[in-house]
Amino acid sequence: MNFFTKVDIPTSTVQIDYKSRLAFFGSCFADNISAQFASRKFKVLANPFGTVYNPLSIAKQIQLIASGKIFGEEDVFQDMRLLPEKNACGNENCAASWFSWDAHGSLSGKSREECIAKLNAAADRARKFLQRANVVFITLGTAFVYFLKDSGIAVSNCHRQDPNMFIRKMISVDHAAEALKNIVRDLQKIKRDGILRLQALPSAQDDKSEEGSESRELHIVFTVSPLRHMSDGAHNNTLSKATLQLAIDKVIQEIAKANQTRASRNTTVTNPGQSQQNPAFVEYFPSYEIVMDELRDYRFYDSDMIHLSKNAEECIFERMAETYCNEKTREDIKQVEKFLKSANHRIQDANSPATVAFLQKMHSEAQKLERQIEGLQLGRQF
């Protein structure tokens, strides 16, 4: 008798190894899973503008990156709750913090200039990474979105401002699907811009040999966060997750149909090099289903019974490795894990001969491992 329900995951076109560049956008689940990859020394970009939960805000962030947005004074606002009475200090930056509706509070600043600088640094770093990215994971948390009453603009974060400033509502499947299509379009644009930039480089400055840059393909993986938003109530949480699921399925089906149409047209083109656009490689990873069906026990949850435990995150990472990594890469991961476990051994006396010998050994093993695993970069801390 089988007492375990395993979620079947279709064969994926995505192949991840240590040469890959992986980007993650979305909810705190995206932060947690990206940390699993980063801890094993994969090249990772995680939420450059901070944690974001709804598809409209994720689409807006990626659109800003794709457009080459330069943030300025009009893109930030001052938290008026923190202003001293009548601004007695005479300095508009003396007590208030500055924020952006498009970013998490971690990108706020004590001054307008500091906040703008953080936003532009995050956008520049994300743009450069995404131009060479191989896989982008988009994790959707909720279909509920906060909109500014005055402008109707969706915000990524309310920054604890007056609730009367916002309207909160659940978007439709079509609205969510349109945002997801924009995400795919803008990520493809960023990738194309990166390819064109590399092609334009003089041979003396050509850095195409860097890992990941030689691949013209960009794979996009949508997933739904298994973390439930119980503040909405159990039923509304279910409706929200279902809206996201339906939107993802709608977009994947539309893109698959468009790819088939493009492929059939290309067969009639006499010159295959004539401005053919690369197809969109888009698929779904069932994080939500794995937790609901494979990990349906409270021992896989944190103490609040909503967030996942470390064991659950490890389980999901293992399922992702099974799906996206071949046997060799999975063996490489095991070697890296074994090395890091030894390297992170607690040192009692940093100046002792034994410690010096240990660090020399770790340095030698790190160099050996980097030679064995193409693309691996362990750092130079040994």
> Could you read off the pLDDT of 141-156 as tens digits, one per residue?
999 999 999 999 999 9
Same domain, 30 and 171: yes
Same domain, 242 and 340: no
Q: What is the per-residue pLDDT for 275?
A: 42
Same domain, 203 and 243: yes
Q: Is 296 exposed, middle or buried (0-12, 13-18, 19+ CB in 10 A)?
A: exposed
Tell me if residue 357 falls in helix, strand or coil.
helix
Q: What is the per-residue pLDDT for 158?
A: 96
Q: What ranges make up the beta strands (E) of 105-228?
A: 135-140, 144-148, 154-155, 166-170, 219-224
Q: What is the per-residue pLDDT for 180?
A: 98
CA distance 317 to 255: 27
Q: Tell me, what amino acid is at 10?
A: P
DSSP 205: G
The per-residue pLDDT for range 322-348, each reduced to its tens digit, is 999 999 999 999 999 999 998 888 777
DSSP track, 91-111: -TTSS--EE-TTS-GGG-BSS
CA distance 352 to 137: 45
| Global model pTM greater than 0.75 | yes
Residue 8, domain member (yes or no)? no
Does the structure show a pLDDT above 60 at 349?
yes
The per-residue pLDDT for range 87-146, each reduced to its tens digit, is 444 455 454 699 999 999 999 999 999 999 999 999 999 999 999 999 999 999 999 999
Domain count, the chain: 2
Token pair of 246 as six digits = 């339906």
Which of 300, 325, 350 is the C-terminal boundary of a domain? 325
| List of residues 6+ apart from 340 with CB closer than 8 A | 39, 40, 41
Residue 12, domain member (yes or no)? no
Same domain, 225 and 296: yes
Does the structure show a pLDDT above 90 at 247?
yes
The per-residue pLDDT for range 43-80, each reduced to its tens digit, is 999 999 999 999 999 999 999 999 999 999 999 999 87
Same domain, 212 and 161: yes
Other C-beta atoms within 10 Å of 69: how many?
Answer: 16
